[in-house]
Amino acid sequence: MKSKIIAFILISSPLAGFAATDSCNDQLSDILTKTEMAKKEGNSAEIARLNIARNKVETYCTDERQATRASHDVSRREMKVKKAELELQEAQEELAEANTEGRTDRIMKKTSKVEEKKLKLESAQEGFVNPAGQGYSQGGFKGPTPGVASVAQVKTLRDDAWVVLEGNIIRQVGHELYEFKDATGTINVDIDDKRWMGQSLSPSDKVRIEGEVDKDWNSVEIDVKTVRVLK
């Protein structure tokens, strides 16, 4: 109940219209402009709300705090852009492999994937300017990872959703295309040769696969990024 009350206060607060990274002076200037408009319209309720907002900014807002928030916002957007760039690069590599193999169906699918990743990158880059000369540090995440899903669950997920499955690869149904099975059903999985990393397995070996859901209008597959035999 307490969280709902806090959420209501934030939504109804006059400060809700300001970006968390706006400078204190910008916020005060905006409040002043709106206050003048409210006075001309004789809107006493709005004037009272804006006076509360001005008092809050004058009491709590500092340039140091706003600068810190702005820095964190840039860092998050940098990571989003970098992730989109890497996904596009991988999609382009897979398209190049498909062109080399000459498989029309695979070329069409990978071409579509490249276009999707381009749009995702464009969206991530909107309004973002990378600081000159600033690179990205190599790092990683240590913490909870996605839980193991079932084949039945995967078939209900959106396109490009990241999934982890455990089960058996029971047969090969095409070039780099295999049938994967768990207790809930079967699904085709697309495993590029490079993903095997020298591993050999049989239908009796239990494996863990990780990858993206690849949905067409009439089919669902998994575009596998990693495959590991479970001992």
Q: Which domain holds residue 35?
A: 2-61
Indicate whether 169 belongs to any domain.
yes
What is the phi/psi pair of residue 178, to 5°? -135, 160
Q: Which residues contact 106 (CB under 8 A, 6 or more apart)?
A: 98
Whole-structure pTM value: 0.47
- The answer on 51 and 21 residing in a single domain is yes
Residue 156 lies in a domain: yes
Q: Into how many domains does the chain fold?
A: 3
Q: Look at residue 22 and tell me whether its pLDDT is greater than 70.
A: no
49: CB partners within 8 A, 6+ apart: 14
CB neighbourhood size of 33 (10 A): 11
Give residue-wise pLDDT tens across range 102-119: 878 777 877 887 787 777
Say whether pLDDT at 204 is over 80.
Answer: yes
Higher pLDDT, 61 or 139: 61
Tokens found for residue 200: 């050999």
Listed residue (91, 96, 97, 98) closest to 113, CA to CA: 91
Measured distance CA(167)–CA(153) in Å, rounded: 14
CB burial string 103-114: b at 16+ within 10 A, e below: beebbebbeebb
On whether both 54 and 78 belong to a single domain, the answer is no
The alpha carbon dihedral of 141, 215, 88, 191 has a sign of positive
Cβ atoms of 224 and 211 within 8 Å: the answer is yes
Query: Does any domain span residue 187?
Result: yes
The pLDDT of residue 143 is above 70: no
The pLDDT confidence band at residue 19, using thresholds 50, 70 and 90, is very low
14 with 48, same domain: the answer is yes
The reply to whether 31 and 93 lie within a common domain is no
The answer to whether residue 138 sits within a structural domain is: no
Look at residue 182 and tell me whether its pLDDT is greater than 90: yes
Interhelix angle 44-60/24-41, rounded to 10 degrees, is 170
Distance CA 196, CA 216 (A): 25
Given 125, 140, 165, the domain boundary residue is 125
- Select from 61, 88, 108 the last residue of a domain: 61
Residue 126 has pLDDT above 80, yes or no: no
Longest dimension (CA), the chain: 79
DSSP count for the chain of H helices, then E strands: 6, 5
